[in-house]
A = this chain, B = another copy of it.
Amino acid sequence: MTRNQILAVGSVALDSVETPFGKEEEALGGSATYFGASARFFYPVSLVAVVGEDFPKKHLDLMKKLGVCCDGIKVEKGKSFRWQGFYDYDLNSARTLKTHLNVFASFKPALSVKDRESRFVFLANIDPDIQTSVLRQVRAPSLTACDTMNYWIKNKRKSLVSLLNKIELFLCNDSEARELSGEYNLVKAARWVLSKGPKLFVIKKGEHGVICFSKSFVFLAPAYLLEKVFDPTGAGDSFAGGFIGYLARASRINEAVVRRAVIYGSVLASYNVESFSLNRVARLTPADIEKRYREFKAITRF
């Protein structure tokens, strides 16, 4: 029987990040982590990922405390996935200093009987072949979404385009949209993506906000204006968490729901970048979320 949860498959990692405002070593990170910490405000989330034996227990304890199901996080022999990145004052793009895939290199998720029944699926940025294999294991999802990155666009293009035909919702950033479609203009890039299968296409533009395309409407949302952006790591996955979480909670998905979902995604992303790792989002309350949602109304209404 279909299970009311969002299955999120992606990375659970140890991030070392330096920004002009500070640095953090081996903090809790990863696409599935950021997604789950945001989506849990709206809907039950179950993560599927892999970590090494060295993965700090406190990190998994935190995720569980936040209400995120971690039964699908496998602990394997070896070291955890580590990412080291650096941001300059232009916080929109990370410079990757080191990527050690470690146990993540042989990640081949086999879903539990429960997870196969998930009603919603988010395939965070991993190899599109793995994304496809996970999707195949879910019996009857009512909404499926995926993200990607330039590496897969370049090296697994065919698999990725084939995956687009199997999902309803595709998210990526503006440069990825351009690279994937071969179109510099984002309207043309969106038309290309929508022709490949997805019903909704969300282009994440970092500090410049989000554009959500469907065949019947376009919605533009700005990013929240922050005086202090501490660390943009995870902003895109936090957005996806708020966005898909809100869609999952809605009894029916229509245009008005999608627009509000984009704003909830933007709210979560804006809180996430206020601190390193999950420091801010872990302390967030539903009241904080509603407050910023109203602020989005105030800064955009005319």
Contacts and interface: CB of A to CB of B under 8 A. Distances in A.
Interface of A: 89-90, 184-188, 205, 208-209, 211, 217-222, 225-229, 256, 259-260, 262-263, 296-302
Contacts of A297: 302
Contact of A299 (B89, B188, B220): B220
A302 B219 contact: yes
Given A186-B225, A219-B299, 9 more contacts: A187-B227, A188-B227, A211-B225, A219-B302, A221-B300, A221-B302, A263-B302, A296-B302, A300-B300
Tell me how many chains of this kind the complex includes: 2
Nearest to A259: B302
A209 B209 CA distance: 10
21 contacts: A89-B184, A185-B226, A185-B228, A185-B229, A186-B225, A187-B225, A187-B226, A205-B208, A208-B209, A209-B209, A217-B298, A219-B300, A219-B302, A220-B225, A220-B300, A259-B301, A260-B302, A262-B302, A296-B302, A300-B300, A300-B302
Given A184-B89, A302-B262, A222 B222 contact: yes
Nearest to A222: B220
Contacts of A184: 89-90
Contacts of A263: 302
Contacts of A221: 222, 300, 302
A298 B219 CA distance: 8
A253 to B, nearest CB: 14
A301 B212 CA distance: 12
A194 to B, nearest CB: 14
A22 to B, nearest CB: 15
A300 B210 CA distance: 11
Contacts of A220: 222, 225, 299-300
B222 A209 contact: yes
A296 B301 CA distance: 11
A280 to B, nearest CB: 17
Nearest to A206: B208
